[in-house]
Amino acid sequence: MAVTPATGDPLRLANQGRALTSLVYWDSSGAHTMTPDGQVSTVLDGPLSEVANVSTVGVAFQRPGNDKVIWLQTESSTAELLVASGEQTLRLEGAEFSQQNGPSVFYQRYEPGISEQPSQERTTLRRYHLASATVEELANTGGQQTSTQFSHINHQSAVGLVTAEAFGWTIHLDTTTGAELHSSETAGLGCLGDDANCPIYAQATFHQGLIYALRPIGNIGAQTVDRFGLFSFDPSTGHETPISAHSWDDGLWYGEDLFFVGDLLVLSIKDGDGDPLPALVTNVATGESWTLPEAHFVRPRPEP
């Protein structure tokens, strides 16, 4: 498993390569797209804390410091799409277009417990269908001492990291039904938080039967973590295969999100201050890797 050195300025996990037109590029100041000839178009003004392209409709987004509202910008207007009630909060997780149901938005809704009944604390993964203006509850993703972190959801499945105090495990959900397709806890692969070589993943996605993910790689001799690696994981066998490894030091860089566009695995990256770094692109068919020219967070811009 080769280690790719960080080169250039800003920090890059691989050499600079070509831009991708199948992405939305964004940071706190706004979001834009790019045409094949390099023309840049601004699609959304900041400040932004999360972005999801809603195919054929517009862009869903959230603003920093406001976890009560998910907004939708179309060609003609910007309006509230989802609004939390009471003490609830919302987290935008992605968007999808299907020929059967049209466009939809994925989000997690958190409902706090009360002091007398903290066990009522609950988080759920939900899908909002724009065509029918209906909400579908897909899965319970958190409780009093558990929570789930998803990478960007833009397919009919989602991979999440469940944490419960010091313990963690990976789940794979069918986002059409909410059914759990894989759990590393059930498979006996859950791990304590200080086990750096355990197949649980903070950023992960599903593609052609495999989970693709980023996780720390422990240096056993030095008793530390000095690399992060991309892996593929076969949930049917429990076998993990390394793809690439990249030098890491706490505060230098972190995975921010992970998803596929075609056969390209895209890792959105941030620095220790939470600002974007050039995203890493890996062609899983050929093994080729490169970083995007500019430092932006990225999200897929799928076509129906």
- Residues spanned by the domain of 30: 3-300
Average pLDDT, the chain: 89
Quick check: 194 pLDDT over 70?
no
Q: With cut-offs at 50, 70 and 90, classify the pLDDT of residue 115.
A: low
d(CA 263, CA 174): 20
**Which residue did the predictor score with more confidence, 219 or 76?**
76
Beta-carbon contacts of residue 88 (< 8 Å; ≥ 6 apart) = 68, 109, 110, 111, 112
Quick check: 238 pLDDT over 90?
no
**Mean pLDDT, range 116-122, rounded to an integer:** 70
- 115-127: b (≥16 Cβ within 10 Å) or e: eeeeeebbbbbbb
Quick check: 5 pLDDT over 50?
no
What CA–CA distances, in Å, run from 99 to 35, 133, 207, 304?
25, 17, 20, 8
Quick check: 257 pLDDT over 90?
yes
Quick check: 4 pLDDT over 70?
no
What is the structure's pLDDT at 3? Answer: 45
Quick check: 187 pLDDT over 80?
no
281-296 per-position pLDDT tens digit: 999 988 899 999 999 9
Task: Give the CB-side neighbour count of residue 236, counting CA atoms within 13 A.
Answer: 4
**268 and 257 Cβ atoms separated by less than 8 Å:** yes
Per the structure, the count of domains in the chain is: 1
22-66 per-position pLDDT tens digit: 999 999 899 999 887 778 899 999 999 999 999 999 999 999 999
Q: With cut-offs at 50, 70 and 90, classify the pLDDT of residue 9.
A: confident
d(CA 151, CA 300): 12
CATH classification at residue 147: 2.120.10.30
What is the structure's pLDDT at 99? Answer: 86
What is the structure's pLDDT at 87? Answer: 92
What is the structure's pLDDT at 304? Answer: 44
d(CA 55, CA 6): 34
What is the structure's pLDDT at 35? Answer: 81
60-110 per-position pLDDT tens digit: 999 999 999 999 999 999 999 999 999 999 999 999 998 888 999 999 999
Indicate the range of 44-48, 190-194, 226-230 predicted with least confidence: 190-194
**Mean pLDDT, range 166-190, rounded to an integer:** 86
Amino acid identity, position 104: S
Q: With cut-offs at 50, 70 and 90, classify the pLDDT of residue 202.
A: confident
